[in-house]
Amino acid sequence: MDFIKTGESYDIIFDTAGKTSFSKCKSFLKENGIYLSTVAGLPQFAWMMTTSVRGGKKLIGGLAPMRKDDLLFLKELIEAGRIKSVIDRSYPLAQVAAAHSYVETGHKKGSVVITVIQPI
């Protein structure tokens, strides 16, 4: 369901996939609402600085540190069968444009994999 079409307002909007933006969501936030983003680039950092000074609705986001221990923990969970990857489609490198087009449709149900085979 597209929450924007409901017309409701929210205390928190948490964008885990970078599918929307603070500028699109801020009108759906309550007075002191927070937009959380796991995908933060230069525009998001600019909004964070602006909203922290002005008050009211805020954008919070950032980049998680990459740590070897975290990757090893994920590896253990995968090997134990506690996490399973969902692969929707796989494309060879030569069809990367088609893969990108498919992802942009917004209909994927899992990861889209690009297969890269190195010559021997």
Same-domain check for residues 75 and 100: yes
Mind listing the pLDDT tens digit of every residue in the chain (120 residues)?
477 778 889 998 888 777 777 888 888 889 888 888 877 666 666 666 676 566 678 877 766 677 899 889 989 999 999 988 889 999 999 999 999 999 988 888 888 999 998 666
Residue 75 lies in domain: 68-115
Distance CA 69, CA 67 (A): 5
Residue 120 lies in a domain: no
74 and 57, same domain (yes or no): no
> Based on the domain organization, do 21 and 57 belong to the same domain?
yes
Q: What is the CATH number of the domain that holds 25?
A: 3.40.50.720
State whether 40 and 87 are in the same domain.
Answer: no
* pLDDT in the model for residue 15: 81
Tell me how many domains the chain contains: 2
Domain termination residue (choose one: 23, 43, 61): 61
Helix (H) or strand (E) holding 87: strand 87-92
Structural domain includes residue 83: yes
What 3-state class would DSSP assign to 115? Answer: strand
Q: pTM score, two decimals? A: 0.51
Q: Tell me: do 13 and 38 sit in the same domain.
A: yes
Does residue 37 fall inside a structural domain?
A: yes
